[in-house]
């Protein structure tokens, strides 16, 4: 077997490890050295990699609590053996604290996934609902996290109002918040605030967990009972870590005190919407890639406990990392990160939407220099400054208040193009300064895979807006341009199904399953297509197969119930 290593997009945060272990691949025990791991995969060095293993195989690594289906993502020949990247092909899951909650939230955001992240610890279960990567809601079966108890505990309602609303809720079957509004104890605006407060509090309380299990259950749409809100992933992680009282937990999971933090080189991590107070900005200003954590504690405006919590929170958002390559201009980054945000009124928001529309329409014509507002002879410093300013301005995470799916899609396209412009122009600028080349012409337009991703994202937006005809066109183009991505075929199949083109939808779902056989969502939805076509045996087989991959898959369970009826 010989496979080249592909570009590592690092969707899920990766953790280094140096550990000799015995793993089981397709039933064979193999000695290996673990080098790194993430929620979605593992890197290792194997002296003798087995030949003729199936494309998808069972993988067990006891030290990482891994027992899943996997496949080889890349393989590299080395003097000491083979360096191998294994990608998990089963559900995204793992135990806390080996797989921290921020890792899941960051990865799901970068993948644009939709579904439910379920966290269980002892008798308690909490759910975080995600739509196209954004956190939109949460729920909990923990009594003290009910809205009623939370509002009473923080003094938002009195004990008497609590009792009165509880009686009305029991008598009428209405939600507690609705009862409060009807009784005049909360205004409708206060109720929205209360729901948002409860959702954030449930999520914040998860970050200090020292044990538990996390699993992501992919669903094509959030559940009907979910109230859709939008939260900045970066802000949720930052405030969640900052709310941890157990300083020993922080110290145990913190990098060594002699380590030096640097700013991330990944733009999507660098300019997240993280609300910082004045003293937090002062602390961030101390980061320069050379000062150790111990040095920062000594110079911090906070005490040691608060400094450690703040640094650990920024580290978990991936805004800070331990990369020592010094590729980031710290002063320019801090100039943007430490700048106070200006409040936007309705008129300013409307003007910004118009700016987005114009730049989305013209970005390819403008080219890499034009989209950053640069002249062709711009220096490296000019390129960096323009890039950091534009990346902050158009970061999708900073504009969650826009409800339009179309605007979100356009921001994603603009942000990706700005990042691409910086990557190319800074590389060209380095070549020019070294005297090797003075090339100034614009590079080639985005490649086919990037075009496919753009088509896919836009097609998803149209599908959600029930513009089925346009969704079919765009998702079909995405699947054609990059036919190795299973979710392109899946969503194209869903669009075809909604367009009542059942046989075409079946073919697309089958292609998605061929590429990702263990995906219960794809298999269950194929069963529903068979059900619609009248192929009951095929439908039953599909539902049963889906339940083998995910025993709680609701679409498969609903399909089997329909067959009984």
Read off the pLDDT of residues 317-348 as tens digits, 9 standing for 90 and up.
Answer: 999 988 655 566 778 788 877 777 666 677 88
φ and ψ at residue 156, rounded to 5 degrees: -75, -30
Cα 40 from Cα 42, distance rounded (Å): 7
Q: What single DSSP character describes residue 396?
A: G
What tokens appear for 72 in the block? 């080889």
Report the run of H or E that residue 119 belongs to, with start and end.
Answer: strand 115-121
What tokens appear for 147 in the block? 């809205």
> Architecture of 346-446 per CATH?
Orthogonal Bundle (1.10)
Closest CA to 40 of 22, 5, 15: 15
- Contact indicator for 473, 457 with CB cutoff of 8 Å: no
Q: Which CATH class is domain 450-564?
A: mainly alpha
Fold of 15-89: Thrombin, subunit H (2.40.10)
3-state secondary structure (DSSP) of residue 141: coil
Cα 254 from Cα 38, distance rounded (Å): 17
- Contact indicator for 30, 46 with CB cutoff of 8 Å: yes
Mention every residue, 6+ apart, whose C-beta is less than 8 A from residue 195.
147, 177, 227, 229
Cα 133 from Cα 105, distance rounded (Å): 8
* Parts of the chain with a pLDDT under 50: 1-9, 430-445
Domain spans of the chain, in order of start: 15-89, 96-231, 235-337, 346-446, 450-564
- Contact indicator for 172, 179 with CB cutoff of 8 Å: yes
Cα 501 versus chain centre, distance: 32
Cα 294 from Cα 302, distance rounded (Å): 13
What tokens appear for 132 in the block? 């196209």
Say if 346-446 and 450-564 have the same CATH topology. no
- Contact indicator for 117, 127 with CB cutoff of 8 Å: yes
Cα 546 from Cα 528, distance rounded (Å): 12
Q: What is the DSSP string of 159-170?
A: HHHHHHHHHHHH
**Diameter over CA atoms, the chain:** 80
pLDDT of residue 343: 67
pLDDT of residue 226: 60
Cα 560 from Cα 539, distance rounded (Å): 8
pLDDT of residue 422: 87
- Contact indicator for 508, 490 with CB cutoff of 8 Å: yes
- Contact indicator for 164, 157 with CB cutoff of 8 Å: no
Mention every residue, 6+ apart, whose C-beta is less than 8 A from residue 380.
426, 429, 430, 433
Cα 268 from Cα 111, distance rounded (Å): 12
**Taking CA 38 as the corner, what is the angle to CA 248 and CA 135, rounded to the nearest 5 degrees?**
80
pLDDT of residue 438: 35
Sheet containing 134-140: order of strands: 93-96, 212-218, 115-121, 124-131, 134-140
pLDDT of residue 430: 47
Give Cα separations from 324 to 12, 82, 265, 382 (angstroms).
20, 26, 11, 23
Give Cα separations from 164 to 143, 147, 187, 194 (angstroms).
18, 15, 16, 18
Give Cα separations from 435 to 375, 380, 384 (angstroms).
20, 14, 20
């Amino acid at each position: 077997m010989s496979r080249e290593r592909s570009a590592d997009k690092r969707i899920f945060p990766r953790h280094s490890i140096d550990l000799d272990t015995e793993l089981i691949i397709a039933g064979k025990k193999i000695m290996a050295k673990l080098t790194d791991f993430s929620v979605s995969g593992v890197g290792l060095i194997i002296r003798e990699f087995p030949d003729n293993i199936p494309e998808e195989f069972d993988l067990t690594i006891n030290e990482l609590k891994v027992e899943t289906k996997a496949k080889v993502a890349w393989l590299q020949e080395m003097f000491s053996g083979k360096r191998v990247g294994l990608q998990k092909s089963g559900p995204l899951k793992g135990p806390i604290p080996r797989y921290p909650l921020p890792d899941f939230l960051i990865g799901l955001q970068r993948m644009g996934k939709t579904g439910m992240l379920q966290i269980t610890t002892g008798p308690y279960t909490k759910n975080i609902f995600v739509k196209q990567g954004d956190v939109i809601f949460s729920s909990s079966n923990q009594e003290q996290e009910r809205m009623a108890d939370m509002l009473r505990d923080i003094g938002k309602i009195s004990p008497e109002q609590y009792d009165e609303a509880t009686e009305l809720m029991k008598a009428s079957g209405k939600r507690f918040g609705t009862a409060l509004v009807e009784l005049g104890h909360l205004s409708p605006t206060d109720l929205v605030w209360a729901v948002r407060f409860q959702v954030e509090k449930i999520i914040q309380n998860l970050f200090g967990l020292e044990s538990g299990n996390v699993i992501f259950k992919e669903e094509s749409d959030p559940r009907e009972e979910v109230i859709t809100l939008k939260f900045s992933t970066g802000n949720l992680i930052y405030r969640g870590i900052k709310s941890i009282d157990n300083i020993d937990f922080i110290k145990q999971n913190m990098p060594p005190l002699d380590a030096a933090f640097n700013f991330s080189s990944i733009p999507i991590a660098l300019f997240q919407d993280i609300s910082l107070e004045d003293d937090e900005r002062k602390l961030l200003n101390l980061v320069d890639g050379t000062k150790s954590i111990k040095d920062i504690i000594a110079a911090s405006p906070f005490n040691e406990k608060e400094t450690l919590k703040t640094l650990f929170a920024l580290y978990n958002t991936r805004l800070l990392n331990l990369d020592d390559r010094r590729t980031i201009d710290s002063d320019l980054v801090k100039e943007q990160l430490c700048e106070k945000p200006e409040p936007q009124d309705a008129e300013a928001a409307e003007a910004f939407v118009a700016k987005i529309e114009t730049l989305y329409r013209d970005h390819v014509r403008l080219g890499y220099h034009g989209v950053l507002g640069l002249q062709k002879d711009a220096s490296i410093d000019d390129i960096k400054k323009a890039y950091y300013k534009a990346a902050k301005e158009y970061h999708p995470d900073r504009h969650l208040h826009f409800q339009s799916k179309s605007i979100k899609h356009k921001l994603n396209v603009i942000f990706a193009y700005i990042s691409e412009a910086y990557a190319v122009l800074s590389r060209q600028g380095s070549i020019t300064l070294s005297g090797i080349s003075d090339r100034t012409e614009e590079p080639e337009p985005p490649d086919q895979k990037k075009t496919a991703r753009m088509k896919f994202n836009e097609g998803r937006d149209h599908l959600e807006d029930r513009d089925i005809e346009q969704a079919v066109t765009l998702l079909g183009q995405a699947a054609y341009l990059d036919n190795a991505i299973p979710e392109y075929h899946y969503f194209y199949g869903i669009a075809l199904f909604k367009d009542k083109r059942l046989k075409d939808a079946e073919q697309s779902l089958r292609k998605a399953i061929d590429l990702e056989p263990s995906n219960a969502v794809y298999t269950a939805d194929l069963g529903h297509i068979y059900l619609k076509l009248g192929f009951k045996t095929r439908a039953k087989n599909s539902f049963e197969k889906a339940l083998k991959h995910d025993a709680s898959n609701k679409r498969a369970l609903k399909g089997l119930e329909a067959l009984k009826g």
